[in-house]
Amino acid sequence: MKKRKIPLRKSVVSGELFPKKELVRIARSKEGKVAIDPSGRMPGRGAYIALDPKEAQAAWDKKILDRVLEVKLTDAFYEELLAYVTHQKARKELFANE
């Protein structure tokens, strides 16, 4: 049986490559609307960050997503992103041994 290739993506914060499942995608639509994309399938320009609250905080502090997605993001969006990443990381650790 052939081993499936794990899709890797680069975090826009650290520049490191991670398996796609360990990242969260942030998508910008043609209309300029930015949203967290848990499915990874939303149309538009995508940027990935690791499921790590420190990385979400760094993205916020340095406004990295504003630059990568060429859009002005609100603090409310970054707060939502930070909460989402923190929640997903906790969930992942909770179900890690299943």
Q: What are the backbone angles phi and psi of residue 53, rounded to the nearest 5°?
A: -55, -35
- With a cut of 80, say whether residue 71 has pLDDT above it: yes
DSSP state of 64: H
Q: What share of the chain in percent tops pLDDT 70?
A: 96
Residue 66 Cα distances to 22, 63, 78, 95, angstroms: 22, 5, 10, 32
CA distances from residue 24 to 1, 8, 12, 62, 90 in whole angstroms, order as listed: 30, 12, 11, 18, 14
DSSP, collapsed to helix, strand or coil, labels residue 66 as helix
- What percent of the chain has pLDDT above 90? 86
Q: How confident is the model at residue 97 (pLDDT cuts 50, 70, 90)?
A: low
For residue 51, the Cα-to-chain-centroid distance in whole angstroms is 7
Segment 78-83 shows an average pLDDT of 97
**pLDDT over 70 at 58, yes or no:** yes
